[in-house]
Structure 1
């Protein structure tokens, strides 16, 4: 008979596996999208000056600005959800999760920008890296904390519905501690 913990481990493994597969699929798409050769009639000048490209896009009008800025925000935004999903942790310090996810998104965006500039011979665009990173951060903040809270509430409800399972696990832990203390020859303090 399998315990309640093995079911949780299997579910966590499935979430991690699904997150990893989706992450690889998304990164493959991003790689294809960003590193393929393009023929474009008009492309804004690339710049190492922060926010210069964003100002140039805004000067082109609302439609072009929305398309350009929105595209840069959305390109890596799924990473804000897929990276924590691939990690598979429900109970984690929210700030640490956010920082790890945004840092990984920023490093990936920077890597893509550097590879793109090497392949095309263009100067790296800092605004693209900033917008990609902002997209990862916004997606993470919008989705991950509420979903983790929902999953924790769901787990608490299941645990409250099955108090016997909790008692058995607690008894097992006490038994393991007692065996470990006798093996080591040291008693457990009250």
Structure 2
């Protein structure tokens, strides 16, 4: 049974499966990147002051600041597209979709930070949580509304094309949904006047 507002038929299954597979692959890559132990001589203390690390990165200036901030934004940014893709719905409230996706990205970032507390050489940083969450929201805003619009237009064109192919003089024969047969009035031959 198809959910209301979802992509139709086989396309829905392909989009959801592709989104799910890519989502699992991305999360595996993120786990590998963020949960490996680091062999470092010393570790900085955990940062619980918002934007302190971002300010320190900006103080470095230039390419190094852009690289560090960009890495924080890009780490979980694909979730902004992959989560709605795995969900597979075309007709949803744009603000609600953004909030849901951003909240899921924030929870994934918090989960990674909590797991990192037990990994040697890794420390918790609130700025990483903020940058990861902003990255998810930016990716969602940049790609998901346009992608949904494109898929909705494609589905509408397909529906119009299918409607033109039907014989307009006859129309579709109504069927009883539970049984899948036509009513008796349609099965009887037409009476002559």
Which structure: greater helix fraction? 1
Into which bin does the TM-score normalised by the smaller protein fall?
0.7 to 0.9
> Highest CA radius of gyration, 1 or 2?
2
User: 1:75 and 1:162, CA in 2 relative to 1: closer, same or farther beyond 3 A?
Assistant: same
Q: Post-superposition shift, 1:168?
A: 3.5
TM-score (norm 2): 0.78
Correspondence for 1:36: 36
Listed one character per residue, the Cα deviations across residues 125-152 of structure 1 (whole Å, up to 9, x for unaligned) are 0000000000000000000000000111
Q: Is 1:168 aligned to residue 172 of structure 2?
A: yes
TM-score (norm 1): 0.80
Q: Post-superposition shift, 1:71?
A: 0.2
Q: Is 1:8 aligned to residue 12 of structure 2?
A: no
Unmatched 5+ stretches in structure 2: 1-6, 181-193
Correspondence for 2:19: 19
C-alpha distance in 2 between matches for 1:79 and 1:98: 11
Q: Post-superposition shift, 1:95?
A: 1.3
For 1:91-130, list aligned pairs within 5 A. Answer: 91-120=91-120, 123-130=123-130
Verify the 8 A CA contact 1:117 1:123 in the aligned structure 2: yes
Q: Secondary structure of 2:117's match?
A: helix
> How many residue pairs end up in the alignment?
169
Q: Post-superposition shift, 1:67?
A: 0.8
Q: Post-superposition shift, 1:122?
A: 5.4
Structure 1 consecutive aligned stretches of length 4 or more whose deviation exceeds 6 Å? 41-44
Q: Is 1:79 aligned to residue 83 of structure 2?
A: no
User: 1:150 and 1:51, CA in 2 relative to 1: closer, same or farther beyond 3 A?
Assistant: same
- Across the aligned residues of Structure 1 and Structure 2, the Cα RMSD in angstroms comes to 2.7
Q: Post-superposition shift, 1:57?
A: 0.5
Q: Post-superposition shift, 1:9?
A: 2.0
